């Protein structure tokens, strides 16, 4: 709801990059080299092996990107941030920089943002062995589900989702397995189903663990479709040509509201740092 949430493009508020520069000045290179985004990029450069490789061809934008993310949070003196498990490290950096800036400025201007973690801490890709996190940048489009996917696309992707070679109907179970006891691909399906239905994973496992994976995949596909259908319908409505003017108005209004807050806060930060305008 644009009346409740401020919607804007980051590039329209230059104060983000200005605060990022100030934060860069108190961020140690050793700290950034330990960030997962940087280490994973180096790992890709080394063909997946976590060996030491030449990082001369990696760009500074990637290296300092976590600082820009911290600026995005701290510029608005944010107190709570909804993040996935993979982003927790980035928020920890934002908390550290808030503490450092407060010490430098001798104030408590920046609150230390708290992470709000979704119960599904980490949704994995539907393809790959072992599977990595679901990502829109993954090379295989079948590994992810998009809010714009049709019903048929959702069912096809989940039908082809990676599981394991076990036939659940032929296994003599002496107990109902926990989520941790299942293979990553199968556990991922239960995680997705749980998120869409708000049911406990243990109850879902009890229902499906003795059935072939096709039953589980069908249930997941139906649950995902039910969850995404109204979102997809609203997206399609908003992106119709007749709504372009309204979207531009929302972006323009959000830009002005965001700039007002960002400009006021950045002015106070500069004042605390002794960076007064002449």
Contacts of 177 (CB under 8 A, 6+ apart): 205, 209
Name the catalytic one among 4, 106, 136, 240: 136
Closest by CA position to 62, among listed 35, 43, 85, 84: 35
Burial of 224 (0-12, 13-18, 19+ CB in 10 A): buried
Closest by CA position to 105, among listed 26, 18, 20: 26
In the numeric block, the tokens 């989520």 are attached to: 179
Name the catalytic one among 41, 132, 227, 270: 41
Is residue 121 part of the annotated active site? The answer reads no
Name the catalytic one among 132, 133, 227, 270: 133
Angle, nearest 10°, between helix axes 15-24 and 244-273? 40
Instruction: Show the CA angle centred on residue 262, arms to residues 69 and 107, nearest 5°.
Output: 85
Is residue 132 part of the annotated active site? The answer reads no
The counts of H helices and E strands in the chain are: 10, 2
Closest by CA position to 185, among listed 153, 161, 168, 209: 161
Is residue 136 part of the annotated active site? The answer reads yes
Cis preceding-peptide flag for 130 (omega within 30 of 0): yes
The answer to whether residues 149 and 155 touch, using CB atoms and an 8 Å cutoff, is: no
Give the catalytic positions in this structure. Answer: 41, 133, 136
């Amino acid at each position: 709801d644009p009346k409740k949430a401020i919607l804007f493009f980051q590039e329209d508020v230059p104060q983000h990059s200005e605060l990022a520069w100030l934060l860069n000045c108190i961020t140690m290179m050793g700290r950034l080299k330990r960030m997962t985004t940087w280490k994973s990029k180096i790992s890709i450069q080394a063909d997946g092996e976590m060996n030491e490789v030449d990082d001369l061809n990696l760009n500074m934008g990637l290296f300092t990107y976590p600082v820009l993310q911290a600026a995005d949070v701290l510029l608005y003196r944010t107190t709570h941030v909804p993040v996935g498990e993979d982003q927790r490290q980035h928020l920890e950096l934002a908390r550290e920089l808030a503490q450092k800036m407060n010490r430098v400025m001798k104030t408590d201007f920046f609150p230390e943002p708290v992470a709000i973690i979704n119960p599904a801490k980490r949704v994995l890709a539907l393809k790959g062995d072992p599977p990595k996190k679901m990502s829109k940048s993954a090379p295989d489009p079948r590994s992810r589900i998009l809010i714009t996917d049709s019903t048929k696309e959702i069912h096809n992707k989940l039908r082809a989702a990676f599981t394991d070679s076990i036939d659940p109907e032929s296994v003599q179970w002496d107990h109902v397995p926990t989520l941790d006891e299942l293979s990553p691909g199968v556990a991922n399906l239960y995680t997705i189903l749980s998120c869409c239905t708000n049911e406990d994973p243990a109850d879902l496992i009890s229902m499906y663990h003795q059935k072939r994976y096709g039953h589980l995949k069908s249930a997941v596909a139906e649950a995902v479709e039910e969850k995404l259908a109204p979102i997809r319908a609203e997206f399609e409505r908003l992106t119709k040509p007749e709504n372009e003017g309204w979207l531009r108005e929302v972006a323009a209004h959000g830009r002005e509201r965001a700039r007002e807050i960002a400009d006021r806060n950045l002015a106070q930060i500069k004042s605390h740092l002794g960076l007064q305008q002449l």
